[in-house]
Copies of this chain bind each other. A is one copy, B any other.
Amino acid sequence: MANLSIAQLLGTELPLIQAPMAGVQGSALAIAVSNAGALGSLPGAMLGAEALRSEIEAIRAAVSGRPYNVNFFCHSPPVPDAAREAAWREALAPYYREHDIDPAKIAPGPGRNPFTAETAELIEPLRPPVVSFHFGLPEAALLARVRSWGAKVLASATTVEEGLWLQARGVDAVIAQGLEAGGHRGHFLSHDLTRQPGLFALLPQLVAALDVPVIAAGGIADAQGVAAAMALGAAGVQVGTAYLLCPEATTSAIHRAALQGDAARHTALTNLFTGRPARGIVNRVMRELGPLSAVAPEFPLATSAIAPLRAKAEAAGSGDFSPLWSGQNAGGCRARPAAGLTHALARGFAGAP
């Protein structure tokens, strides 16, 4: 069962998923990937209701019935903590002075929305064929509602325990998120980052422990990586970072430059940009404050206070305060159409045992 290819499960030609990457892509990348035979993904976490609807409609209109995925976060909305917010702004104060920013005038920054009954209500008429979740799953009634229109449900596990938890709640496949992966860690049972193995260790242990198919994610950048993941028992793979330089992605010029330089060799998990650990290329603010800060407010509240620094720095051509999301292997990053990258990755399935 664990060896069932996810191509059969998802109805795609290829057992390959383009990882949803909030903030650096929208419908265009998902469309290109789905039309190339893999599963394109739309990240829903940073979209308001109207944008979410119109993005899904854009995908539906462009993929000629091919499957696509919509991804959501499942965090509990945080309770704002004034003391922590103050400590956070205090930590950022030298940077505000340097950039001539008045912290009293900082507007609430872009948030990340969890999946709610309103989200389900909104997407139900659109019936996305695949829905994936990060940070666990929505509550049982909401999950049942998603399944009611026949959507296949995927979710990320960073440990064997999380994989077993997700399987017990009926997911169709589990995404093994190796520690190499870029962007937000998907953990939800424990916040202890030492529990999260690299893909070489996590993937075979999840395959051995679970009955549902396991999708490999983290550090897979080319056909050889795809073949290696399949050799370890994966039923499919999810690739994110390698898509960041595709013209269909909305990755900023600063972010694209970082991915192509030596800086991309050094990533770290950081909570400075959102409040939850996520992997990105080490930049000035990560170096100076330390990538993991005890004073950064709870996810996603850390974003507001750092957003104006990011904006000012980016306007000056600097990524010093930007989340430069990347996995530990940016070796697959080249400026090429998403269809071409998808086809290149697909060659790895032929080489798999």
**Residue from B161, B180, B222 within 8 A of A197 (CB atoms):** B180
Copies of this chain in the oligomer: 2
Give every chain B residue within 8 A of A197 (Cβ-Cβ). Answer: 180, 198, 219, 267, 328-329
CB distance from A274 to the nearest CB of B (A): 18
Question: Given A178-B198, A351-B353, A204 and B225 touching (CB < 8 A)?
Answer: yes
- Please report the C-alpha to C-alpha distance between residue A180 and residue B265 in the assembled complex, in whole angstroms: 18
Give every chain B residue within 8 A of A221 (Cβ-Cβ). Answer: 204
A224 within 8 A of B: yes
- Write the chain B residue with the least CB distance to A329: B201
Question: Given A179-B179, A200-B218, A195 and B232 touching (CB < 8 A)?
Answer: no
A166 within 8 A of B: no
Give every chain B residue within 8 A of A301 (Cβ-Cβ). Answer: none
Say whether A198 contacts B227, CB under 8 Å. no
- Please report the C-alpha to C-alpha distance between residue A308 and residue B198 in the assembled complex, in whole angstroms: 33
A160 within 8 A of B: yes
- Please report the C-alpha to C-alpha distance between residue A268 and residue B195 in the assembled complex, in whole angstroms: 7
Question: Given A265-B205, A329-B205, A231 and B198 touching (CB < 8 A)?
Answer: no
- Write the chain B residue with the least CB distance to A279: B194
A-side residues, CB < 8 A to B, are 159-161, 178-180, 194-195, 197-202, 204-205, 208, 218-222, 224-225, 227-229, 231-233, 265-269, 282, 291, 327-329, 331, 351-353
Nearest 10 CB-CB pairs, A to B?
A: A198-B198, A200-B219, A201-B328, A201-B329, A201-B219, A197-B328, A194-B268, A228-B228, A228-B231, A227-B231
* A–B Cβ pairs within 8 angstroms, 30 of them: A159-B265, A160-B265, A161-B265, A179-B198, A180-B197, A180-B200, A180-B201, A194-B266, A194-B267, A194-B269, A194-B282, A195-B266, A197-B329, A198-B198, A200-B200, A200-B219, A200-B225, A200-B328, A201-B328, A204-B222, A204-B224, A204-B225, A204-B329, A205-B329, A205-B331, A224-B231, A225-B232, A227-B231, A228-B231, A228-B232
